[in-house]
Amino acid sequence: MNTRTDYAWSTPRGLVERPGEYPETTELWGYTDRFAYRQGEQVDLRVHTTAETFDVEIIREGARPETVFTATGVPGTRQETPADAYATGCGWSSCLTIDLGEDFTPGYHLVVFRTHDDHGREIEQESFFIVRPDDPADVDILLVHATSTMLAYNDWGGGNHYRGLPDGDRNDIPSPYSSMHRPIARGMLRKPVGAPRNAHTDLSLPIGWEPRHPTYEWAWQRGYSRHHNDAGWANYERPFTIWAEEQGYRVGHLTQNELHGEPDCLDGAPVVVIVGHDEYWSWEMRDTLDAYVDAGGHLARFGGNYVWQVRLDLDTGVQTCFKDPSADPIRATDPTRLTTAWDAPEIGRPGAETMGLTGLGGAYIRYGSAVPRGSGGYTVYRENHWALTGTDLYYGDVFGQAPLCIAAFEVDGCDYTFRHGLPYATGADGAPEDLEIIAMAPAVSGGEDRWSGQVPIGAPAAELADLYAGIYPDGIPPHHQGPGYGSSMVVTFTRGDGEVFCAGTTDWPYGLEANDPFVTIITRNVLDRFIAAGRDGAQAPATNTKEQR
């Protein structure tokens, strides 16, 4: 969520993926012209390589991966690439066109490009596309991929919404523009088993401990993007999809682009699911999701860090996010579309109105020096909630703790108070009146620097203070004043005729990947309830677990 670079991480720079950066290497990159298609359409593969030929394999990913297309000996093309391709797109010509016939059934398709260097070593790079279901009602789960967050962190070409523009010092300036017409940074779509996570999962830390970030160290050593863990299929949607298919659920796939451009794309879905890191949303995406829930739809979000509004132009393929409201040129003319935190008063649409929680009410756990010795799990407060049925969890119990750490990295919460040992949302930040807080974990707005800038802490607390100064020019509201303490929460609430479950953490999918019994049972409870209600065409009857207030 940080809006400026922690200078201790500025050297070494890490991998920079763009043509000509490493002249002695064999280059191979490719991308598709869209993220999602329907069966019967065509996909253009736009590929740059310094090799004479390359091969293509397309794999329908999931619990049982299946190769659905191969091509060998495709003639290679050296493509002209703009210096600012990260912002404007590569503009490469098509090297191969593929008809999405009967072999391309709905699902997530990984595109693998391969060639060999002068020493005979295999070079591989990945892209992807989704084949959409014909009708959202045909699946049990409609999984929305957080492609706007992927765009924000994708640093292929040298820049993203976090860094890339030189400022004359060791820091980089973020690019407010990110193009979808370019390859995806290495590691976001595919990586080796056992690659480290953003969150550290140590069982205990000694006195005098200093933060380390194995995920960055691994990236530098192995030649992956420093942002390989921040977004993308390999980190979040893939483990959820594999788990869900193994459980027998039929999973359909969409991207946020469809929510942005097609207001009816969710109609008929029994349940819409979001997992992992969905930090970035456009106004139109929220409109589509809110309308679906208001009309009786069901949203299950197992994700965290809901913070930023973006503007997305599907014609040019460019996503815009200035973050600093004073830098956005439309501030004076259209303040509701400011590309800054949703909780900014000028926008007038708090994030908690959609998700029940907000990234500004949560932030970080077990990332650098942010709550480094936290349990990594959730403490139960409402043990009789329907989502916990069959878990045998009691008030005060903790689930998902270290070394699993599902309440970790970037998390969401809301302003709350305690009465008689139970947490209640105050509503000061837009949280719904009927929000039920099932479980919580302490979080902080950023890491504390106890090392005078000599140790990389990852997400300095000062960054959020800078953001508050920008989005609250008339004074920071009381619920954001103080030392920057927040929480990660697991909650439910109703909206219109629909119902929402939200586990506000990026790392919930890792609990499913590990088949943790508590995480698995809770996830199944949510999905089964919402699917049944969605099939019936009506909201499931509410289970009254509220206490007298």
What pLDDT, on a 0 to 100 scale, did the predictor assign at position 167?
A: 62
Domain count, the chain: 2
Q: Which domain holds residue 145?
A: 7-165+173-195+215-242
Question: Within a domain: residue 47?
Answer: yes
Q: pTM of the predicted model, to two decimals?
A: 0.95
Task: Say how many CA atoms lie within 13 Å of 186 toward its Cβ.
Answer: 24
Question: 142: domain CATH number?
Answer: 2.60.40.1930
* pLDDT of res. 545: 40
Both 110 and 160 in a single domain? yes
End-to-end Cα distance, the chain: 35
As a whole number of angstroms, the distance between CA 180 and CA 30 comes to 12
Residues 310 and 354 in one domain: yes
Do 160 and 268 belong together in one domain?
A: no
Q: Residue 15 has what pLDDT?
A: 83
pLDDT digit string (tens) for the chain, length 549 residues? 444 444 454 444 568 899 999 899 999 999 999 999 999 999 999 999 999 999 999 999 999 999 999 999 999 999 999 999 999 999 999 999 999 999 999 999 999 999 999 999 999 999 999 999 999 999 999 999 999 999 999 999 999 999 887 764 444 789 999 999 999 999 999 999 999 999 999 999 999 999 988 999 999 999 999 999 999 999 999 999 999 999 999 999 999 999 999 999 999 999 999 999 999 999 999 999 999 999 999 999 999 999 999 999 999 999 999 999 999 999 999 999 999 999 999 999 999 999 999 999 999 999 999 999 999 999 999 999 999 999 999 999 999 999 999 999 999 999 999 999 999 999 999 999 999 999 999 999 999 889 988 888 888 888 888 899 999 999 999 999 988 999 999 999 999 999 999 999 999 999 999 999 999 999 999 999 999 999 987 444 434 343 432
Tell me, what DSSP letter sits at residue 342? Answer: T
- The answer as to whether 249 is a domain residue is no
Please give the C-alpha separations between residue 298 and each of 137, 142, 268, 346, 499, in angstroms, as whole numbers. 13, 11, 10, 29, 5
| CATH at 478 | 3.40.50
Is residue 543 one of the residues assigned to a domain? no
Q: Are residues 222 and 267 in the same domain?
A: no
Number of Cα atoms under 13 Å in the Cβ half of residue 498: 26
Is the alpha carbon torsion for 221, 224, 227, 229 positive or negative? negative
Q: How many CA atoms lie within 13 A of 247 on its CB side?
A: 20
Strands 53-60 and 107-116: antiparallel
CA-nearest of 135, 112, 111, 113 to 38 is 135
Given this model, what pLDDT does residue 549 score? Answer: 27
* Same domain for 368 and 238: no
506 and 359 fall within a common domain: yes
Q: What angle do CA 457, 158, 59 make, to 5 degrees?
A: 95
Q: Residue 96: in which H helix or E strand, if any?
A: strand 96-99
Q: Amino acid identity of 384?
A: N
Q: How far is CA 168 from CA 171, 173, 459, 527, in A?
A: 8, 10, 22, 50
Residues 188 and 307 in one domain: no
Question: What is the maximum span of the chain, computed from C-alpha positions, in angstroms?
Answer: 73
Do 225 and 322 lie in a common domain?
no
- Residue 292's contacts (CB-CB under 8 Å, 6 or more residues apart) are 266, 267, 269, 272, 299, 498
Nearest 10 degrees: CA dihedral of 71, 73, 75, 79? 70
Residue 254 falls within a domain, yes or no? Answer: no
Predicted pLDDT at 156:
97
Q: Would 504 be classed as within a structural domain?
A: yes
Residue 445 lies inside a defined structural domain of this protein:
yes
For residue 207, tell me if it sits in a domain: no
The answer to whether the beta carbons of residues 394 and 379 sit under 8 Å apart is no
Give domain status of residue 544, yes or no.
no
Beta bridge partners of 124: 114
Distances in whole angstroms, Cα of residue 406 to Cα of each of 103, 153, 504: 37, 22, 10
> 186 and 314 share a domain?
no
Distances in whole angstroms, Cα of residue 169 to Cα of each of 10, 13, 173, 230, 458:
9, 13, 10, 25, 18
Of the candidates 4, 3, 1, the residue with the CA atom closest to the CA atom of residue 305: 1
Together in a domain, 223 and 340: no
**191 and 321 in a common domain:** no
- How many Å apart are CA 454 and CA 8, to the nearest integer? 6
Minimal CA–CA distance to 116: which of 71, 157, 76, 68?
76
- Is the CB of residue 232 less than 8 Å from the CB of residue 189? yes
Q: 335 and 365 share a domain?
A: yes
Instruction: Name the CA dihedral angle for 325, 326, 332, 336, rounded to a multiple of 10 degrees.
Output: 0
What is residue 16's predicted lDDT score, i.e. its pLDDT?
Answer: 87
For residues 525 and 146, give the distance between their C-alpha atoms in angstroms, rounded to a whole number.
Answer: 23
Q: How many of the other CB atoms lie within 10 Å of CB of 183?
A: 26
pLDDT for res 13: 58
**Cβ atoms of residues 298 and 526 within 8 Å:** no
Rounded-to-integer distance, Cα 53 and Cα 47, Å: 11
Q: State the DSSP H helix or E strand holding residue 367, giving kind and residue range, or none if neither.
A: none
